[in-house]
Structures are given as C-alpha cells and as structure tokens.
Amino acid sequence: MIMRVLKANGFLFNFLQTEIMRNEFERLAARQPMELLSMKRYELPAPSSGQKNDITAWQESVNNSMAQLEHQAVRIENLELMSQHGSNAWKVYNDNLVQMIENAQKELQRLRKQIQDLNWLRKNDQLAAGNKLREMESNWVTLVSKNYEIERAIVQLEGEINKMKQAQGDENKENIRQDF
C-alpha cells in the first residue's frame, strides 16, 4: 500500500529510491516484522574461557569496555547539547526555510509578472501586425482592382484602335479604288 502511494506521487518515490528504503518497502509489502535492534555492539564480552588467565586478552577487554564507556559518554553529552540547543537550531533552520520559501514565492511572482508582461506585449504586437496585414490586404485588393480596370480599359482601347484601324483600312481601300 505504501508503495502505491509513493508511486502515485512519483517525485516522492524517486526521491526515496535508496537501497535501504527499497528493502524496507519490500519488508512492509511482505508484512514481515521489523528486525530487532541489535545490542551486540553494546555487549562487553569477557575473554574466552581459554584466555581467562591471559593478561593481554583482559587488557583488550578492558580497552573495549573503556571505548564503549567513552562512546556512551559522548552520546549522553550530545543528547544534553541537543536538549539545550536543538530546539533553537531547528527554529533557526525553520526560519531559514520560511525565508527561502518567501524568496522563492517572490521570485515566482516576479517571473509570472514578467511572463504576463511579455505575453501582453506579444499580443499587442500581434494585434498591430494583424491590423497592418488587413490594411495591406485592403491596399492590395484596391491595387489589383485598379490593375484589372486598367487592363480592361487597355483591352477596350485596343479594340477601339483595331476598329479604327479597320475603319481606316477600309477607307484607304476605298480611296485607292476611287483613285484607280
């Protein structure tokens, strides 16, 4: 079930894709109990029965117990420091996160405004270009119409010229006949 939730929110699942997390999710999916906490490293074993009279074995055992004791003392000191300063450190961390979120939101608003302004400029440019195109199209239609009228007038004039030439040609023929 947890796997499905994390798969539905893909970014979370991909973020948590570590070997340990994968193993833990598989354990949960198989409904297996959690492994018990191993206390092995906190044990202070005495030398084995064959080394009970060996001074170096006892010295190693004492050194191990002293290292364990020092480790526990450091842990206690860290816990005391955490109880004294931990909450303040988290408050500072949270304040930093809040500040980062506020800055990111301001940046997001600034970018959205830039995008909106750019889109507004583009829209105005496109509307102006559309008006210019309509004006140019209207001029083109007017010029094409004028060209058509001119061509029609030329054809008409050429027809009249041909008629005149033909009429003049006919007159010239009659004049030549009359001359002969």
Domain range annotation of the chain = 1-32, 106-180
Residue 80 pLDDT: 93
If you average pLDDT over residues 31-48, what whole number do you get?
81
Residue 72 pLDDT: 92
Q: What percent of the chain has pLDDT over 90?
A: 49
More confident residue, 88 or 106: 106
68 within 8 A of 43, measured Cβ to Cβ: no
Sign of dihedral through CA atoms 153, 159, 165, 170?
Answer: negative
If you average pLDDT over residues 37-55, what whole number do you get?
79
Confidence of residue 14 (pLDDT cuts 50, 70, 90): low
pLDDT over threshold 50, residue 5: no
pLDDT over threshold 80, residue 15: no
